[in-house]
Amino acid sequence: MKKPIQILLQTTIPETLDDWHIGRFSLLHEFLATTKDQAGNSLFHVTARNRESADGSPDPVLSTLDNSAFDELWLFAVDTGQGLKNDDCEGITRFRQRGGGILATRDHQDLGSSLCTLGGVGRAHYFHTQNPDPDESRRANDDAYTRSISWPNYHSGSNGGYQHVSVERPLHPLMRRSDGSAIERFPAHPHEGDVGVPPGRSDLRVVATGVSSATGRPFNLMVAGDRAIAESSFHHFVDYNWDPRAGCPSFVEEEPVDEVIRDPAGLGDVRRYIQNAVRWLG
């Protein structure tokens, strides 16, 4: 029997109940932890945690990640800019250099902008005040409904709904269903972030795109390459977007819809993507 892949699900904030703490990713955690092979053996061993503190000190796990038994880091950057310290970034960089896989995701405007301090895949994330999109035409509001949030804020749909995914060709292994067809649906979100291939990075490629339901403008959903994935929004994975009845922090203004409740089979695509991502990163 092969050893289970060791996965760390990690946020960039300490335990904060009225925020996107790691407990709000419980459905992802449960899905991974209960995935088994045909003989009933667990394929993945999952550890889920927040930052240990907000006092400015390095996180004891992230800063020494290269010395851990983890094979993959799924990093949910839910901070407003100070979520990763220098020692954390250095530990994560050494982790990747010794063969670890990284999925790094964030959200709108500057939410998760501490990813800019992360080498490699961090430069694939574009924010409002840090590392803005080199295409200046994209430095403009897309979601015109939530006025408190500025660009990047691509409106892929309402929380609790689905968005259509367009895959780039050739079809990447991340976006392939078990029958070989392309993944087509992802959870939607009113204001997703911005990812892209930085200049000079031939090791990265756009894997899939979405289309704004507000403006009709296409935008990148994910960029991948060299054991790393940059995602436009952690809302593809959070409980609230898989089941709005799970609740959300009090600062969320938009009313959700119930499409994922009425059509839960549609989540099969994002679950397949998650399984693909674990295997590809590993």
Q: What is the pLDDT of residue 232?
A: 98
The strand pair at 101-105 and 162-164 is best described as: unpaired
Mean pLDDT, rounded, for 107-122: 93
Res 216 pLDDT > 70: yes
Query: What share of the chain in percent tops pLDDT 90?
Result: 94
Q: What is the pLDDT of residue 56?
A: 87
Residues in the chain: 282
Query: pLDDT per residue over 12-25, tens digit each?
Result: 999 999 999 999 99
Q: The domain 5-281 is classified under which CATH number: 3.40.50.880, 3.40.50.800, 3.40.50.720, 1.10.1040.10?
A: 3.40.50.880
Query: pLDDT per residue over 51-67, tens digit each?
Result: 998 888 999 999 999 99
pTM exceeding the 0.75 threshold for the entire prediction? yes
Query: pLDDT per residue over 229-262, tens digit each?
Result: 999 999 999 999 999 999 999 999 999 999 999 9
Q: What is the pLDDT of residue 148?
A: 95
55-59, 98-102, 161-165, 275-279: which range is least confident on average?
55-59
Q: Is-contact 280 225, C-beta < 8 A?
A: no
Res 125 pLDDT > 90: yes
Query: pLDDT per residue over 179-211, tens digit each?
Result: 999 999 999 999 999 999 999 999 999 999 999
Q: What is the pLDDT of residue 120?
A: 81
Query: pLDDT per residue over 76-105, tens digit each?
Result: 999 999 999 999 999 999 999 999 999 999
Q: What is the mean pLDDT of the chain?
A: 96
Lookup: tokens for 94: 């050494």
Q: Parse the chain into domains and list their residue ranges.
A: 5-281
Res 1 pLDDT > 90: no
Lookup: tokens for 236: 């593809």
Mean pLDDT, rounded, for 38-58: 94
